[in-house]
A and B are shown apart, each in its own frame.
Chain A
Amino acid sequence: MTNKSSSEDLKDLWQGQQTDPPRIPSEDFRRKVYKFERKIFWRNVREYIAGAVVIAWFGYYEWKFRGLLVRVGSGLIIAGALYVLFQLHRRASVRIAPADLGSNTCIDFHRKSLERQRDALRSIWSWYLLPFVPGLVVLLIGSMMNQWTKHPAGLGQFVIHSLISPGIMALVFFAIWKLNRKAAERLQAQIDEISAPREGAD
């Protein structure tokens, strides 16, 4: 028996499977597209609500507390949240167009999809986390100064206590940045892998 006969037999076996292709009316498709759009809409609404909660919370700080630094910090956090909401809105509108599914070859489609994920991971630090950092730093300094004014204690003990929460916050931010960078590197390796054979063969 030759290679050809073996693979031809498997082709017959493959193509001879009993199938039941679905018959889906156009109306069903329109309903599904509408459902999908609604899902995206509600996901965006949830993100905007989360942003609104942050803004309301720090707006309350702005109104409630008199310390200058606390108020400046709260204002900066509100500005950061508005910037993040704007970015979420901008990025949510960048979606795969239906035409891309058929006009792109499988390699191009896969590579673009990996590049999109990589870029999102690489940039999440700068548009999702960094905008909150200036506000948080100013707010923490303001809180520390308020605390010091109200309850002056030993300077060493005060500094240690004051640095615990910013330290934890910095560690969390660092871990997020590090994990995202690792994941982006893995995606880049996959992009290089799928780009290599085509470049080599052409």
Chain B
Amino acid sequence: MASREDLYEEAVRTHGSALDRLARAYEANPEARRDLLQEIHLGLWRSLESFDARCSLRTWIYRVAHNVASSHVDADRRSKARHLVSIEGVDLTDHRVDTAGTADRRMALERLMALIRELKPIDRQVMLLFLEGIEASGIAEVTGLSPANVATKIHRIKNILIRRFQAGGEHDQ
């Protein structure tokens, strides 16, 4: 069995960028985001001492990251009393953003971040794992949702994305 240090090294090498993106999606404020990212790394480092390979390292990393980040949002949400919506409650009639040009892509990314931050924890987790390219069974393993439930949510997410964003300058209809 690899040591905690080796596992942590591997985690950063394989998922360091994903953790960075996750922190950005959870926290808009740059300073708080840096703290959150450190908190995630600290949680990961501490937790890896108990890693027993009953799930994959990838599943473990994402669980730790989302659990730490959700606790962070939960504490923050109490103070700001923000209203979070479920994926089923997201407004589909919004204007679309083209993702063709550099400026457009930046704007699309900002809107995507804003959309993610509006979501309730479990839907936010599914959305982020989906964007990271994790397959439905992997999302189910991280979140604890059933595969059928994940499939339903992914369908809804795709629907939201196609209505809100427009890829490569092409038109959807």
Contact = CB atoms under 8 A, between A and B. Distances in A.
A19 B112 contact: no
Contacts of A6: 158, 161-162, 165-167, 172
Kindly state the interface size class of chain B when it binds its partner.
35 or more
Contact of B171 (A1, A33, A110, A113): A1
A1 B21 CA distance: 27
B162 A106 contact: no
Interface string B50-69: 11001100001101101110
B89 interface: no
A-side interface mostly: helix
A105 B123 CA distance: 14
B41 A24 contact: yes
B109 A13 contact: yes
B137 interface: no
B49 interface: yes
B20 A21 contact: yes
A108 interface: yes
A109 B74 CA distance: 12
Interface string B1-38: 00001001000100011011100100000000000011
B162 A104 contact: no
Given A22-B37, A105-B63, A106-B63, A32 B42 contact: yes
A49 interface: no
A154 to B, nearest CB: 50
Contacts of A100: 67
Contact of A105 (B46, B74, B143): B143
A194 interface: yes
Contacts of A20: 20
Kindly state the interface size class of chain A when it binds its partner.
35 or more
Given A6-B167, A19-B20, A33-B46, A101 B108 contact: no
B-side interface mostly: helix
A7 B158 contact: yes
Contacts of A23: 12
A197 B131 contact: no
Nearest to B70: A110
A167 interface: no
A106 B38 contact: no
B59 to A, nearest CB: 8
A11 B112 CA distance: 11
A201 B64 CA distance: 24
A101 B43 contact: yes
Nearest to B96: A6
B170 interface: yes
Interface string A100-124: 1111111111100100000000000
A21 B112 contact: no
Contact of A33 (B42, B70, B166): B42
A98 B47 CA distance: 5
Interface string B96-126: 0001000001001100100000000110010
Interface of B: 5, 8, 12, 16-17, 19-21, 24, 37-38, 41-51, 54-55, 60-61, 63-64, 66-68, 70-71, 74, 99, 105, 108-109, 112, 121-122, 125, 130-133, 141-146, 148-149, 152, 157-159, 161-162, 165-168, 170-172
14 contacts: A9-B99, A9-B165, A10-B161, A14-B112, A20-B20, A100-B67, A102-B61, A102-B63, A102-B67, A103-B54, A108-B144, A109-B67, A201-B145, A201-B146
